[in-house]
């Protein structure tokens, strides 16, 4: 699995395989409840199951597997991270925030289930994430003290030190004309980066990674998190977001501060390439074992530079 992942077809197959694994595990977890036909369960399933790329939980699996953890130990944590991500998208789409009609190419949860039910589905997914991480199943694979540390880490990434804090400043910075690059980065690191960083760190810790290894994948995760948001902003600014991936339609015409809006698209692309090189440098020591993590970083960046990951290989050393 970890070796020989060198070309785009192999990466696509890998991403599809891992994504299907995570979707099946999420389905299983959400099946366990009695009364699953009630609207709240339908709204939760609608928010988390169809359409997501599953990049965060795939990162958890890839990092955990790099350091030798079995998938069965990683899956509850990977699924919890995807639940937190899905909650954040449902809430972000609500009229009080971005007021979007479309998410992942389909109607947003509040358009289908109403605002109250969508709000509750987001709340339920967020809570469920921590319920799952502290479940007997998870504790059978991972020592309870470590589970507590991982819950501490994910709640930090989801809370005011991460997602919520980043989103709050993003809201305040809307329509401001003089938002500087440091502020944009501050927002990105929390709103998008914190959960991506937590995804790799949690995978590594489930696997019992040594401090030096945890340090390396943490630096990889920090850079990838920033790169992910810059790439997303470039795709938005250049109108490249596709209906199958992340199509959104918003009533919210408010102007957001983004990397391309502050430094321009060419400079944002240069920054992306630099971040990719830094990601790859951190993984150099693992050789082919880190092929999935390297390929994911290339994939995230390449979409915003050339539209594919193959053409990047001539410019970036791995």
H/E stretch holding 120 reads: helix 115-133
- Least distance CB 159 / ligand GRG (angstroms): 9
Candidate list 43, 121, 163, 295; residue touching ligand GRG; CB under 6 A: 163
CA–CA separation, 79 and 117 (whole Å) = 22
Is 100 a residue that touches ligand GRG (CB under 6 A)?
A: no
User: b or e along 47-83 (b: 16 or more beta carbons within 10 Å of the residue's beta carbon)?
Assistant: bbeebbebbbbbbbbbbbbbbebeeebbbbbbbbbbb
Q: Measured in whole angstroms, how far is the alpha carbon of residue 22 from the centre of its chain?
A: 13
Is 167 a residue that touches ligand GRG (CB under 6 A)?
A: yes
Cβ–Cβ contacts within 10 Å for residue 226, how many?
23
Of 85-93, 144-152, 202-210, 291-299, the window that binds ligand GRG (rule: CB under 6 A) is: 85-93
Candidate list 104, 190, 223, 294; residue touching ligand GRG; CB under 6 A: 104
Residues 119-158 that bind ligand GRG (CB under 6 A): none
Is 199 a residue that touches ligand GRG (CB under 6 A)?
A: no
User: b or e along 228-252 (b: 16 or more beta carbons within 10 Å of the residue's beta carbon)?
Assistant: bbbbbbbbbbeeebeeeebbbeeee
Candidate list 47, 52, 221, 225; residue touching ligand GRG; CB under 6 A: 52
User: b or e along 157-186 (b: 16 or more beta carbons within 10 Å of the residue's beta carbon)?
Assistant: bbeeebbbbbbebbeebeeeeebeeebbbb
Is 91 a residue that touches ligand GRG (CB under 6 A)?
A: yes
- Least distance CB 34 / ligand GRG (angstroms): 28
Candidate list 246, 283, 302, 305; residue touching ligand GRG; CB under 6 A: 246
In the bound state with ligand GRG, the residue whose beta carbon lies nearer, of 45 and 216, is 45
Return residues touching ligand GRG (CB under 6 A). 52-53, 55, 85, 88-89, 91-92, 104, 163-164, 167, 191-192, 229, 232, 246
């Amino acid at each position: 699995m970890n070796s020989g992942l060198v070309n785009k077809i192999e990466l696509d197959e890998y991403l599809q395989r891992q994504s299907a694994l995570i979707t099946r595990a999420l389905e299983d977890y959400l099946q366990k409840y009695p009364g699953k036909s009630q609207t709240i369960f339908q709204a939760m399933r609608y928010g988390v199951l169809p359409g997501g790329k599953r990049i965060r939980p795939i990162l958890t699996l890839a990092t955990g597997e790099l350091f030798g953890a079995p998938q069965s130990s990683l899956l509850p944590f990977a699924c919890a991270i995807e639940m937190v991500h899905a909650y954040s998208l449902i809430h972000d789409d609500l009229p009080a925030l971005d007021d979007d009609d479309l998410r992942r190419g389909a109607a947003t949860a509040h358009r289908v289930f109403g605002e109250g039910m969508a709000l509750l589905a987001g709340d339920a997914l967020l809570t469920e994430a921590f319920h799952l991480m502290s479940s007997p199943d998870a504790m059978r694979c991972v020592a309870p003290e470590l589970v507590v540390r991982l819950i501490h880490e994910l709640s930090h990434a989801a809370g005011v030190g991460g997602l919520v804090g980043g989103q709050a400043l993003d809201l305040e910075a809307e329509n401001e004309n003089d938002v500087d690059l440091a502020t944009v980065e501050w927002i990105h690191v929390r709103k998008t980066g914190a959960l991506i960083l937590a995804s790799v760190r949690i995978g590594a810790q489930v696997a019992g990674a040594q401090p030096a290894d945890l340090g390396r994948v943490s630096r990889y995760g920090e850079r990838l998190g920033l790169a992910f948001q810059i790439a997303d902003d470039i795709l938005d600014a250049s109108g490249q977001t596709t209906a199958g991936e992340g199509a959104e339609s918003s009533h919210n015409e408010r102007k957001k501060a983004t990397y391309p809006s502050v430094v321009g698209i060419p400079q944002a692309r240069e920054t992306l390439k630099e971040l990719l090189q830094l990601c790859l440098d951190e993984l150099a020591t693992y050789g082919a074992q880190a092929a999935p993590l390297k390929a994911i970083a290339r994939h995230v960046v390449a979409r915003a530079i050339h539209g594919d990951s193959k053409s990047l290989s001539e410019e970036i050393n791995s």
